């Protein structure tokens, strides 16, 4: 169990987030919310007719990580694929509204911008409609992404690889990003998903959640001893500098060295919505490390950040002020 770090020390680390440049490479998504009232059932099929009164667009996937990086006071540089469509235009507007860099976006001739549309009637989630192509980026798209990575990485203080299994992070892109980071002596954090889980070797922070780890290792991790064994097994297999395993209501566990494990209990007071908490954790953990925190200090700060965002309904980014107030 981690001892609570000194409050002044934590506040000092958070204040040093300002101006740190973080490159985010991964699957960009838009979350669309269509909300309204239900007054009748469709005569065409036994489904409700939702009379839409509100449309909301929010950052999703790697874009939400970039937003978290921004609201923490750092400077995000987002690299990923978008389509040549209306939602790409909307994403550009959203990024500009947040004063975020758009030059890292690669437009695809064949892929749409990934959109998750949630239809809500009378405050009930009725349906979700996904617009996406899950096949891997083709050779031309890979080359365009690599060109962006090679250009922007030189000025970055850290790299976050954000994998949602939407096709951007091919094995070539993963290998290239880690290689370029190593050549430029830039630390890499990874938020993995199932498909390429074991491809992320020689990174600084590997941050899976408990379900992803159970699936990757084909083990049921139902006690601390199994968690410890799994954490160090991952660390050894991936040759990772550290593994941060998020465990939902049980907080998170940090694995360093050969036998150094730190369990950090959740900081959430009242959990309302866990959506987006992983994005907050990887953003905050990375920002804290490049601001001079030890891995333990960074994990502690990231845990506070996660505790804040899960108390809110919907996917919201962590703010620097909220983090300072809770620290």
Interacting residues of 239 by C-beta distance below 8 A, sequence separation 6+: 201, 202
Helices (H), the chain: 7-15, 62-71, 86-97, 139-152, 171-183, 210-217, 224-238, 277-290, 295-309, 320-326
Distance CA 319, CA 322 (A): 5
Can you tell me whether residue 106 is helix, strand or coil? strand
- Selected catalytic residue, list 31, 157, 191, 279: 279
Residue 238 near residue 206 (C-beta atoms within 8 A): yes
Q: Label each residue of 135-166 as H, E or C.
A: CCCCHHHHHHHHHHHHHHHHHCCEEEEECCCC
Using the 8-state DSSP alphabet, how is residue 20 labeled? -
Extract the tokens encoding 314: 């919907």
Distance of CA 26 to the CA centre of its chain: 9
Q: What is the CA radius of gyration of the chain?
A: 20
Active site residue 279: yes
Residue 197 near residue 212 (C-beta atoms within 8 A): yes
* Catalytic (active-site) positions: 279
């Amino acid at each position: 169990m981690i001892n609570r770090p000194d409050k002044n020390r934590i506040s000092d680390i958070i204040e040093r987030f300002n101006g740190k440049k973080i490159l985010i490479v991964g699957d960009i998504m838009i979350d669309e919310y269509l909300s309204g009232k239900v007054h009748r059932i469709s005569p065409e099929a036994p489904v409700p007719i939702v009379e839409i009164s509100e449309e909301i667009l929010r950052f999703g996937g790697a874009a939400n990580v970039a937003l978290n990086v921004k609201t923490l006071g750092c400077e995000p540089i987002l690299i990923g694929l978008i389509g040549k469509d209306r939602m790409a235009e909307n994403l550009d507007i959203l990024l500009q509204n947040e004063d975020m860099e758009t030059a890292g976006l690669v437009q695809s001739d064949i892929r749409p911008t990934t959109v998750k549309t949630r239809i809500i009637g009378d405050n009930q989630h009725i349906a979700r409609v996904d617009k996406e192509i899950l096949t891997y980026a083709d050779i031309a798209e890979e080359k365009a992404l690599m060109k962006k990575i090679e250009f922007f990485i030189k000025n970055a203080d850290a790299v976050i690889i954000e994998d949602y299994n939407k096709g951007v992070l091919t094995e070539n892109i993963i290998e290239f990003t880690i290689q370029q980071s190593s050549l430029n002596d830039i630390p890499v954090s990874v938020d993995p998903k199932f498909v390429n889980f074991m491809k992320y070797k020689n990174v600084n922070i590997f941050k899976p959640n408990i379900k992803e780890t159970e699936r990757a290792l084909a083990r049921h991790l139902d006690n601390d001893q199994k968690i410890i064994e799994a954490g160090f097994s991952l660390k050894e297999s991936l040759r990772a500098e550290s593994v941060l395993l998020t465990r939902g209501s049980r907080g998170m566990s940090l694995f360093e060295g050969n036998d150094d494990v730190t369990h950090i209990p959740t900081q959430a007071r009242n959990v309302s919505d866990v959506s987006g908490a992983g994005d907050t954790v990887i953003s905050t953990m990375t920002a804290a490390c490049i601001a001079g925190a030890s891995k333990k200090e960074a994990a502690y700060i990231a845990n506070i950040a996660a505790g804040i965002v899960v108390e809110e309904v919907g996917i919201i980014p962590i703010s620097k002020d909220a983090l300072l107030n809770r620290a």
